[in-house]
A and B are shown apart, each in its own frame.
Chain A
Amino acid sequence: MRIASPEDLDAVRKIGLFKIQPDRPRIAVGLATCGIAAGGNELYDRLGSIIREGGYDIELTKSGCIGFCRQEPIVSVTIPHKPLVLLHHVTSDTAEDVIKGVLQEDIPKNLALCRVKEWDHITGMIQYGEGFETIPDYHEIPFFSNQHKIILRDAGFINPEDITEYIAAGGYSTAFSVLTGRDPDSVIDEVKRSGLRGRGGAGFPTGLKWEITKKAPGSEKFIVCNADEGDPGAYMNRNEMESDPHMLIEGMLIGAYAMGISEGLIYIRAEYPLAIERLRHAIREAKSYGLLGKEIFGTDFSFDIKIAIGAGAFVCGESTALVASIEGKIGRPHPRPPRLTDSGVWGRPTDLNNVETWCNVPVIMAKGAEWYSGTGVRGNSGTKVFSLVGKVDNPGMIEVPLGTSLHRIIYDIGGGGAGGKRVKAVQTGGPSGGCIPERFFNTGVDFESLLTMGSMMGSGGLVVMDEDTDMVDIARYFINFAASESCGKCLPCREGLKHTLLILNRILAGKAGVEDITLLETLADTIQATSLCGLGQTATNPVQTTLKYFREEYDALIVQDLPDGGR
Chain B
Amino acid sequence: MDTTGHTVTITINKNQYQAVEGEILLEVARREKIDIPHLCYESSLSPYGACRLCMVEVVTCGKTEMTTACTVRVHRGLEILTDTPDVIRHRKILLELYLAEAPHSDVIKAMAIRYGVTKTRFLKKIVTGDPLLGRCVLCGLCVRVCNEIMGAGAIGFVNRGPYTIVSTPFLEENPACMGCGTCAAVCPTHAIGIEDTGEKRIMRSWSGTPVEMIRCAGCGGYIGPKPVMEYARSRIDPVMAEELQELCPACRRKQVTR
CB-CB contacts of A484-506 with B at 8 A, as 1s and 0s? 11111111101111110010000
Q: Quick check: is B100 within 8 A (CB to CB) of the other chain?
A: yes
Closest to A313 in B: B160
Closest to B156 in A: A330
Q: Which of A313, A488, A491 contacts B94 (CB 8 A)?
A: A491
Report yes or no: A499 in contact with B161, Cβ–Cβ below 8 A.
no
Closest to B55 in A: A530
Segment touching A, from B46-54, B126-134, B172-180, B234-242: B46-54
Q: Which of A330, A485, A488, A530 contacts B90 (CB 8 A)?
A: A530
Q: Quick check: is B159 within 8 A (CB to CB) of the other chain?
A: yes
Closest to B92 in A: A526
- The verdict on A532 contacting B94 (CB below 8 Å), with A488-B159, A488-B163, A497-B162 known, is no
What's the minimum C-beta distance from B130 to chain A, rounded to whole angstroms? 15
Q: Which of B47, B50, B66, B160 contacts A491 (CB 8 A)?
A: B50
Report yes or no: A490 in contact with B50, Cβ–Cβ below 8 A.
yes
Please, which residues of chain B bring their CB within 8 A of the CB of A523? 93
Report yes or no: B52 in contact with A488, Cβ–Cβ below 8 A.
no
Q: CA–CA, A515 to B51, complex, Å?
A: 27
Q: Quick check: is A104 within 8 A (CB to CB) of the other chain?
A: no
- The verdict on A488 contacting B123 (CB below 8 Å), with A335-B47, A335-B49, A526-B94 known, is no
Report yes or no: B66 in contact with A530, Cβ–Cβ below 8 A.
yes
Within 8 A of A (CB), among B34-65: 47-52, 55
Q: Quick check: is A529 within 8 A (CB to CB) of the other chain?
A: yes
Within 8 A of A (CB), among B155-170: 157, 159-164
Closest to A330 in B: B157
Please, which residues of chain B bring their CB within 8 A of the CB of A497? 161-162
Report yes or no: A532 in contact with B49, Cβ–Cβ below 8 A.
yes
Please, which residues of chain B bring their CB within 8 A of the CB of A332? 157
Report yes or no: A526 in contact with B93, Cβ–Cβ below 8 A.
yes
Judged by DSSP, the binding face of A is helix
A interface residues, tally (CB under 8 Å): 31
Report yes or no: A499 in contact with B98, Cβ–Cβ below 8 A.
no
Closest to B162 in A: A498
Q: Quick check: is B97 within 8 A (CB to CB) of the other chain?
A: yes
Please, which residues of chain B bring their CB within 8 A of the CB of A490? 49-52
Q: CA–CA, A296 to B123, complex, Å?
A: 61
Please, which residues of chain B bring their CB within 8 A of the CB of A489? 50, 138, 140
Q: CA–CA, A494 to B98, complex, Å?
A: 11
Please, which residues of chain A bring their CB within 8 A of the CB of B161? 483-488, 494, 497-498
What's the minimum C-beta distance from B25 to chain A, rounded to whole angstroms? 13
Closest to B101 in A: A495
Report yes or no: A491 in contact with B164, Cβ–Cβ below 8 A.
no
Q: Quick check: is A334 within 8 A (CB to CB) of the other chain?
A: yes
Q: Which of A485, A490, A495, A496 has the most CB of B within 10 A?
A: A495
- The verdict on A526 contacting B71 (CB below 8 Å), with A487-B160, A492-B97 known, is no
What's the minimum C-beta distance from A311 to chain B, rounded to whole angstroms? 12
Please, which residues of chain B bring their CB within 8 A of the CB of A496? 93, 97
Report yes or no: B101 in contact with A488, Cβ–Cβ below 8 A.
no
Q: CA–CA, A485 to B162, complex, Å?
A: 9
Closest to A486 in B: B161
Closest to B164 in A: A488
Report yes or no: A488 in contact with B160, Cβ–Cβ below 8 A.
yes
Q: CA–CA, A36 to B111, complex, Å?
A: 58
Report yes or no: A491 in contact with B49, Cβ–Cβ below 8 A.
no
Q: CA–CA, A495 to B101, complex, Å?
A: 7
Q: Which of A494, A525, A530 contacts B162 (CB 8 A)?
A: A494
CB-CB contacts of B125-148 with A at 8 A, as 1s and 0s? 000000000000110100000000
Report yes or no: B140 in contact with A529, Cβ–Cβ below 8 A.
no
Report yes or no: A486 in contact with B93, Cβ–Cβ below 8 A.
no
Q: Quick check: is A110 within 8 A (CB to CB) of the other chain?
A: no
Please, which residues of chain B bring their CB within 8 A of the CB of A330? 157, 160
Q: CA–CA, A419 to B15, complex, Å?
A: 66
Q: CA–CA, A394 to B123, complex, Å?
A: 44
What's the minimum C-beta distance from B200 to chain A, rounded to whole angstroms? 31
- The verdict on A494 contacting B52 (CB below 8 Å), with A335-B68, A529-B66, A529-B90 known, is no
Q: Quick check: is B253 within 8 A (CB to CB) of the other chain?
A: no
Report yes or no: B138 in contact with A335, Cβ–Cβ below 8 A.
no
Q: Chain B interface residue count: which class? A: 20 to 34
Q: Which of A484, A491, A496 has the most CB of B within 10 A?
A: A491
Q: CA–CA, A499 to B123, complex, Å?
A: 8
Q: Quick check: is B17 within 8 A (CB to CB) of the other chain?
A: no
What's the minimum C-beta distance from A515 to chain B, rounded to whole angstroms? 8
Report yes or no: B98 in contact with A491, Cβ–Cβ below 8 A.
yes
Closest to A523 in B: B93
Closest to B53 in A: A491
Report yes or no: B162 in contact with A488, Cβ–Cβ below 8 A.
yes
Q: CA–CA, A489 to B161, complex, Å?
A: 7
Q: CA–CA, A335 to B73, complex, Å?
A: 12
Q: CA–CA, A495 to B125, complex, Å?
A: 10
Q: CA–CA, A484 to B160, complex, Å?
A: 8
Q: Quick check: is B86 within 8 A (CB to CB) of the other chain?
A: yes
Report yes or no: B162 in contact with A491, Cβ–Cβ below 8 A.
no
Q: CA–CA, A138 to B138, complex, Å?
A: 58
- The verdict on A499 contacting B50 (CB below 8 Å), with A335-B71, A494-B162 known, is no
What's the minimum C-beta distance from B179 to chain A, rounded to whole angstroms? 25
Report yes or no: B49 in contact with A499, Cβ–Cβ below 8 A.
no
Closest to B71 in A: A335
CB-CB contacts of A517-542 with B at 8 A, as 1s and 0s? 00100110110011110000000000
Q: Quick check: is B231 within 8 A (CB to CB) of the other chain?
A: no
What's the minimum C-beta distance from B71 to chain A, rounded to whole angstroms? 4
Within 8 A of B (CB), among A448-500: 483-492, 494-499
Q: Which of B47, B49, B71, B101 has the most CB of A within 10 A?
A: B49
Report yes or no: B47 in contact with A499, Cβ–Cβ below 8 A.
no
Q: CA–CA, A523 to B48, complex, Å?
A: 23
- The verdict on A491 contacting B100 (CB below 8 Å), with A313-B160, A483-B161, A484-B161 known, is no
Q: Which of A330, A484, A529 has the most CB of B within 10 A?
A: A529
Q: Which of A313, A499, A529, A532 contacts B100 (CB 8 A)?
A: A499
Q: CA–CA, A491 to B111, complex, Å?
A: 16
Please, which residues of chain B bring their CB within 8 A of the CB of A529? 66, 86, 90
CB-CB contacts of A142-158 with B at 8 A, as 1s and 0s? 00000000000000000
A-B pairs with beta carbons under 8 Å apart, 11 shown: A335-B49, A488-B157, A490-B52, A491-B98, A491-B137, A495-B101, A495-B122, A495-B162, A496-B97, A529-B66, A530-B90
- Chain A residues at the B interface, C-beta cutoff of 8 Å: 313, 330, 332, 334-335, 483-492, 494-499, 502, 519, 522-523, 525-526, 529-532
- Chain B residues at the A interface, C-beta cutoff of 8 Å: 47-52, 55, 66, 68, 71, 86, 89-90, 93-94, 97-98, 100-101, 121-123, 137-138, 140, 157, 159-164
Query: Apart from A495-B100, A530-B94, A532-B50, what are 4 other A-B pairs with CB-CB below 8 Å?
Result: A488-B162, A490-B50, A491-B138, A526-B89
